[in-house]
Amino acid sequence: MEKYQEIENSIITKYRKSIWSKFVKGTKEFEMIEENDKIAVCMSGGKDSFILAKCMQEIKLHGKIPFDLVFLVMDPGYTKENRKQIEDNAKLMNIPITIFESDIFHVVEDITMSPCYLCARMRRGCLYNKACELGCNKIALGHHYDDVMETILMSLLYGGEYKTMMPKLHSTNFEGMELIRPLYYVREQDIISFSKFHRLKFLNCACKFTEKNHDENLNSKRLFVKNLIKELKQDNANIENNIFKSAFNVNLDTLIGYKNKNMEYKFLDDYREKKITK
């Protein structure tokens, strides 16, 4: 049996409950895959996007909905070694990647204020452009359960607002394009377990800023939030699930205010009209 066959087999056997079933649940519950879609699976070289690619291959092969896939890799200025690692992993895992190049790493290299945010925005735009060029109507990203949970806390602690990472959304700049996150219910620890089980080595963050500022990266806000969640979990084993599920159970009657597109609501707007009964 080839290595890629072992990997594919384990997704629907050994990791059926922890990865495959949760992946399928997310795609079905949020209606991410529809008939005749052409989906660009965006691959950064990391563990999450490679696992996503294999799951998308499997659901295309075994699912009932006909759709097409493109496995899109943008080279924003990788070193030769990092690019080769991506290409080698794709070959090993039998993923037919399409590579295109950009100069994003060069553009953000000397940026001191929020280089990671700028890099992510530029990468997203490049991926949308290429996906459109290839006739795709959706792009799939490898964000998982932990990313969602951490985003909720980061928005509260650093943004002063409550918002989450949506399972899918319409592009505001590319008409007719959607972004989907099929790993929405998959835990990061299970992706790590999968990678270790198959002895797969993936890129983490291969940008020059991270290489130059290793200490800053270790002390990033997201890492702080990760560690905070670990501490909270020591007192409450359900803390992760509670944070994640909070985005599904927002009680509008107990909010001081909220925004919806161009509308802004404050509880005093209709306070006098409401009568409280006991």
Overall pTM surpassing 0.75 (yes/no): yes
Query: What is the predicted pLDDT for the residue at 218?
Result: 45
Query: What is the predicted pLDDT for the residue at 109?
Result: 61
Count of CA atoms in the C-beta half-sphere (13 A) of 193: 12
Query: What is the predicted pLDDT for the residue at 278?
Result: 47
Q: Is the Cβ–Cβ distance between 104 and 163 less than 8 Å?
A: no
Question: Measuring CA to CA, how many Å separate 9 from each of 4, 14, 254?
Answer: 9, 8, 48
Per DSSP, 269 falls in state: G
pLDDT block averages, 10 residues each, the chain of length 278: 94 97 98 97 95 98 96 88 94 96 65 62 82 96 97 94 96 92 98 97 69 53 92 95 96 90 89 69
Domains of the chain: 3-144+164-213 (3.40.50.620)
Query: What is the predicted pLDDT for the residue at 31?
Result: 97
